[in-house]
Amino acid sequence: MKDFPGTPGTLTGLGLRILQCIFAASAITAMATTSSFFDFTAFCYLIASMGLQVVWSFGLALVDAYALVKKDVLNHSFLISLFVVGDWVTAILSLAAASATAGIIVLLTHDLKGNHCLGDCQQYQVSVVLAFLSWITIATSSLIMLWLVAAG
């Protein structure tokens, strides 16, 4: 198994996981502090999806940190396969949630006439940008993990 930047148990891998957590948690905060997110199914789904992202990335950040401290190499094929599946599932859910939210924000701010955000437009937009940033970092991790498995 090759060892390149971003693989589990490396400093870049840990950095990616921490970034995923920060972006996802910030997206949740920005969305959950609006006054009317619970009126929109997609906005609730964004919070759920980002919540899953935080839990998953935080768990893997702990594993990475443990491996770094113990100077252990995480190359058990079962563990890596588990990471690949989890990374891909969370990456797909994050992109779907961010896109659905973005679609609704464009509808509210552009397609429909009048003020439909009740003053929360900007906060919705910040949340969706953070969700996309979170997706970019988890997609990077997913590609690295898949490459790792395929390259054997």
Q: Which residues bind its own copies (CB under 8 A)?
A: 39-42, 92, 95-97, 99-104, 106-107, 110-111, 143, 146-147, 150-152
Q: How far apart are CA 151 and CA 56, in angstroms?
A: 24
Task: Report in angstroms how near the CB of residue 38 gets to its own copies at its nearest.
Answer: 10
Task: Report in angstroms how near the CB of residue 66 gets to its own copies at its nearest.
Answer: 27
Nearer residue to its own copies within complex by CB, 68 or 126? 126
Q: How far apart are CA 130 and CA 105, in angstroms?
A: 14
Please calculate the CA angle 51-55-61 and round it to the nearest 5 degrees.
Answer: 135
- Reading the block at residue 2, the tokens are 């090759």
Helices (DSSP H) in the chain: which residue ranges? 11-32, 41-70, 77-106, 121-151
Task: Report in angstroms how near the CB of residue 70 gets to its own copies at its nearest.
Answer: 28
Q: Do 148 and 80 meet the contact criterion of CB atoms below 8 Å apart?
A: yes
Nearer residue to its own copies within complex by CB, 121 or 143? 143
Q: How far apart are CA 133 and CA 110, in angstroms?
A: 23
Nearer residue to its own copies within complex by CB, 22 or 42? 42
Task: Report in angstroms how near the CB of residue 30 gets to its own copies at its nearest.
Answer: 17
- Reading the block at residue 24, the tokens are 């996802």
Nearer residue to its own copies within complex by CB, 62 or 106? 106
